[in-house]
Amino acid sequence: MTHEEALGLFRDADALLDGHFLLSSGLHSAQYLEKFRLLERPSVFEPACDALVELLMSFDADFVLGPTTAGIILAYCVARRLGIEARYAEPATKGRALRRGQVLPAGSRVMIVDDILTTGLSLRECIEVVTSHGATVEGIGVLADRSGGTVEFGAPLRALLTLHIPVYRPDECPMCRAGIPLTQRGSRAHS
Ligand SMILES: [Zn+2]
């Protein structure tokens, strides 16, 4: 899948929104990726997952690890296609952890997947989970990297779609200055 095809997929699903958005970080942006437009439509999500699996084929992994919430669905789909098992990194007192009796054997090779890469916090927490079990990170795959490829993990990163979406402090935001109404999005918003 080319960058244009991936972009078309996000656009067709209304997962890439244009406007003026208040992000969970408190910053503003002119574009917003709403992953749930993909996750709620198997007809869109499954082809995206297939295309991501193509990018992850070169990683030789025993397990696929994904962070809650959407990372669970993606990790499961990738694991099913690769014929390996999935593990899920859930929020813990500090960072993330495997819970509910999930095990990751020492020495196992793990690929980490997530939907949208913004700051990389969730993925870094997943890397911590892998290394804390004595396992190794073979690579990382995301449906969309909205950092424009600026986040470094010390492991190879593959993204179906790479976008650089500028963010602004409210006092420097050109959309605020233009008087465009602000929409609150993100997991901490109520919309
Ligand atoms: Zn603004």
Amino acid identity of residue 169, one-letter, is: R
Query: What is the β-pairing status of strands 167-168 and 63-67?
Result: unpaired
Q: Is residue 190 part of a domain?
A: no
- Report the domain count for the chain: 1
Give the range of the structural domain holding residue 86, as residue numbers without chain letter.
Answer: 3-184
Ligand 1 midpoint to CA 175 (Å): 5
pLDDT at 186: 60
Ligand 1 centroid – CA 152 distance (Å): 28
- Asked if residue 149 belongs to a domain, the reply is yes
Q: What is the pLDDT of residue 49?
A: 95
Task: Name the residues around ion ligand 1, CB cutoff 5 A.
Answer: 28, 173, 175-176
* Spatial CA neighbour of 118 closest among 49, 18, 187: 187
**Measured in angstroms, how far is the CA atom of residue 18 from the centroid of ligand 1?**
13
CATH code for the domain in which residue 167 is found: 3.40.50.2020
pLDDT of residue 187 exceeding 70: no
The model carries a pTM of 0.90
In terms of Cα–Cα distance, which of 113, 92, 112, 88 is closest to 102?
A: 88
- The verdict on residue 124 lying in a domain is yes
Residues 121-132 have pLDDT tens digits of 999 999 999 999
pLDDT in tens, 124-178: 999 999 999 999 999 999 999 998 888 999 999 999 999 988 999 999 999 999 9
Is residue 80 a part of any domain in this protein?
Answer: yes
91 Cα to the center of ligand 1, angstroms = 30
**168 falls within a domain:** yes
